[in-house]
Amino acid sequence: MSSVQALGGPSAGQTCVLILIFTVLLQSLCVAVTYLYFTNELKQMQDKYSKSGIACLLKEDDSSWDSIDEENMNSPCWQAKWQLRQFIRKAPRVERIWARK
């Protein structure tokens, strides 16, 4: 009495392994596509903000330095210029402190 397997059909174990391999490959493909998509989007955002930041700093408009105007204070361009000016103002002080030591 021997058990006879149906000829031509894969066993249950082989089917399970094939489904597992297919699932892993499908997940890998989805992760790769998602990674490429978000990497491209991030690069576009970096380029956009980098260009706008440089344009902001190169713009010769000093009228946006009115610290009373709240709309200007909320502008990312104004904030970047303000932080840069604060850094420049503090830089000579740091040099004097280092010179004393």
- Domain-by-domain residue ranges, the chain? 11-58, 62-101
Q: What percent of the chain has pLDDT over 90?
A: 30
What's this model's pTM, rounded to 2 decimal places?
Answer: 0.45
pLDDT bin (cut points 50, 70, 90) of residue 59 is low
The rounded mean pLDDT for the chain is 76
Query: Does residue 70 carry a pLDDT above 60?
Result: yes
| Ordered DSSP codes for 26-85 | HHHHHHHHHHHHHHHHHHHHHHHHHHHHHHHHH---GGGG-TT-HHHHT-HHHHHHHHHH
- Span 52-66, average pLDDT: 61
